[in-house]
Structure 1
C-alpha cells in the first residue's frame, strides 16, 4: 500500500481518520539510531505504527520495533507528541489520516536486524549520517527532539 505525506499543503485531501500511533527513537550503546526504509514511500524513518486495541502504548512501541526491524526494545521515556492537523497521510485505500504520533525513546535489549513487509532496509546509523538520508521533515523533527536530552519536558505540538 502506498502513502503520500502532505505537510501544510492547500491541495491536500481532507483527513477522514485519526489513528493513535507511535514512533521509536531507539539508540544503542554506540550512539547509533535504528532507522528503517519504508516500503510504502521509500523514505527513511524511525520504526513505528498504529496502536491496537488491547495493548498499552508501550506495548505498541515494543511490537512495532520488533515487527519492522527484528530488534527487541525497551521503552525509556517520551520525547514528543505530534498532532499537527496540517500533516495528513493519504493511503491507496482512500484513508487520509491526520497525524497523531507519540515519539518514545527506547533502547535495544536483543534481536538481530531484519526487514519486514513494511521495510526494505533496516540500519543502525550514526547521528552525523542521518542528514544524508531522505527523511520527511516531520520525521526529522521527531529525531531532533528525541536527540535533545537537555529538554525537561516532551515536545507537544
Structure 2
C-alpha cells in the first residue's frame, strides 16, 4: 500500500486544528474561522473522493473535544495447535480479519479486545500480551479520514464455540501457512498477521510500536 498522499495529511490536520479550536475558543470571530477551516477540510476530502462535502462536514461536526487518534483493537487468538482465529467481516464484502473494532468507552483496551472476540466469534479468551501498538498510516492501510492507533493483543482460547454474528458471516481457525488471502486490509494486513505468529512463537519479543 502506498504512503498517504500529502493532500490527505494536510486535510486531516486542518480538520484537527478546527476541531480543537472550536473546543477551546469562545471568541465568535475565531469560531467562525475554525468553522471555515472545517468546511475547507471537508471540501478537500470531497474533491479527492466520491463523498459529498456536506456529508463529510456533518461527520466532522460530530467530532468534538481535543482532536486525538481513534483506537482500533485487534485480538490475535491462538488455540493449542497454534492456529489463529479469524472472522469474515460483513461490512467489507465478507473478507477475513482478526476479531476487533473501535474501542468502547469505560473499558480498557484489553477488555475491548475480549468483548470483540465474544461478539464476533462466540469464543471466550484471555489476553496474554500487548503485541503491537501501531499507527495505521505507518502500517500502510487504506487511507482513512481520521488518525488511528491500532492495538494488537495476543490471546489464549478459554472456551465457547464458533458463532457468527451480525458483523461476521464465518469463523475459522488457520495455521500459519493457510491464512486466507482475501483479507480486510483496512482492518489487518498480511504482515501484521505474520508478526502475530512470530509473537506466538516467541513470547519474549518486545511489543512493536510505530
In 2: Cα distance, 1:9 partner to 1:25 partner: 26
Q: Which structure's relative contact order is higher, taking Cα pairs within 8 Å and 6+ residues apart?
A: 1
Aligned residue among 67, 76, 85 for 2:137: 85
Match of 1:107 in 2: 156
Give the Cα–Cα distance (whole angstroms) in 2 for the partners of residues 110 and 148 of structure 1: 24
**Aligned alpha-carbon RMSD (Å):** 2.4
Give the greater-gyration-radius structure (CA): 2
Taking a change above 3 Å as real, the CA distance of residues 115 and 7 of structure 1, as seen in their structure-2 partners, is farther
In structure 1, runs of 5+ residues without a counterpart are 1-5, 91-95
* Residue 195 (structure 2) pairs with residue 145 (structure 1): yes
The structure-2 alpha-carbon separation of the partners of 1:107 and 1:82, relative to structure 1 and needing over 3 Å to count, comes to same
Alignment partner of 1:97: what SS? coil
Change (3 A) 1:140 1:10: same
Matched, 1:55 2:103: no
- 1:57-85 CA-partner distances (Å, limit 9, x unpaired): 11101100001100001001011111143
Could you tell me how far apart the structure 1 residues matched to 2:154 and 2:7 are? 31
Gap change, CA 1:47 and 1:82, over 3 Å in 2: same
Work out the number of aligned pairs and report it.
146
Alpha-carbon distance in 2 for matches of 1:133, 1:61: 23
Q: How many Å separate the matches in 1 of 2:81 and 2:208?
A: 25
TM-score for the superposition, normalised by structure 1: 0.80
TM-score if structure 2 supplies the norm length? 0.62
Judging changes above 3 Å, is the alpha-carbon distance between structure 1 residues 85 and 126 closer, same or farther for their aligned structure 2 residues? closer
Which residue is 1:35 aligned to?
86
Cα 1:22/1:7, change in 2 over 3 Å: farther
Residue 65, structure 1, aligned to residue 65, structure 2: no
Query: 1:116 maps to what in 2?
Result: 165
Mapped to 2, the partners of 1:49 and 1:116 lie a distance apart of 14
- Structure (1/2) with the larger helix percentage: 2
